Amino acid sequence: MKKKNKKMWKSFLINVLGVIVGISLTFGINAIWQKREENKKIKEMLILVRNELKGNKDILKRHEKAMKEDGYVYKRILEKKDDLTSIHPDTLKTYFSRLHGLFLIQLTTSAWQIFQNSEMIQKMPDKELVIRLTNCYNRLNTLCEYIMKEYWDAKKKMFVLEFDNPYRFFVELMKNNEYTFFLNMYSIENESVWEEFIIIDAMIDFNILLLDKHGDYLYDLDDKDNEILSFINARIDSVFHKKDTIHIKNENQ
């Protein structure tokens, strides 16, 4: 009887142990599978964010190009304000060809908004990359709002003036202090406006570089602040061809 009981207990313990091991393996495999699926969804979402950033970069380039072409016109007007007839009429006419449609081209942030509002962002293994992307989109949205409200709206308001004759339009415009301030503000020589485009462009490229470089989106950078600042300052320096690099404030300040 004792041997029988001993055998029964042994069989029972083996069965219990088998059940425990089986449950543990099931939960372990399930956890690994869930983690794998979460990482897959994060990667897919970040690919959408990456492509959205690339698209926004192209949109900003279009706005910057149009605004800079205007900026060259403003420079000529300010230089020849006492004798506008010395400016070729085609130079002045180009100013009127870049309004309709362009101010309607806005940035897209839907992928980033979906990612922000999802559980995936909470499960990102690397919070530093989230901070990078957040800073980039915040600055991107700020510049976009500035372009739409400050520039294209102001330019549209100017068109209440008569502009069938470009010379007469700019003669009248030069009589208004608010408009002359606008011309000076967006003259091609005012580097502060164009510097912001360079900074955003560099930030987008930096984030795309991180997303492309780190397949698992694990971002480990010891001297992270200096790296992003060096990246941006190098871009500013290369565009303006200055001997002394322009130093910008830390983006997290």
Q: Which of 20-24, 171-175, 200-204 has the lowest mean pLDDT?
A: 20-24
241 vs 56, residue with greater confidence: 56
Contact 178, 150 (CB under 8 A): no
Q: Which of 114-128, 163-177, 192-206, 237-251 has the lowest mean pLDDT?
A: 237-251
CA 24 – CA 207 distance, rounded (Å): 40
CA 192 – CA 200 distance, rounded (Å): 13
Question: Helix 191-213 vs helix 2-79: angle between axes, to the nearest 10 degrees?
Answer: 160
- Locate the domains of the chain by residue range: 40-240
Q: What is the pLDDT of residue 245?
A: 41
Per-residue pLDDT reduced to its tens digit, 31-49:
566 667 777 788 888 889 9
Q: What is the pLDDT of residue 53?
A: 93
| CA proximity to 132, closest of 227, 36, 59, 60 | 227
Residue 69 has pLDDT above 80, yes or no: yes
Model's pTM, two decimal places? 0.72
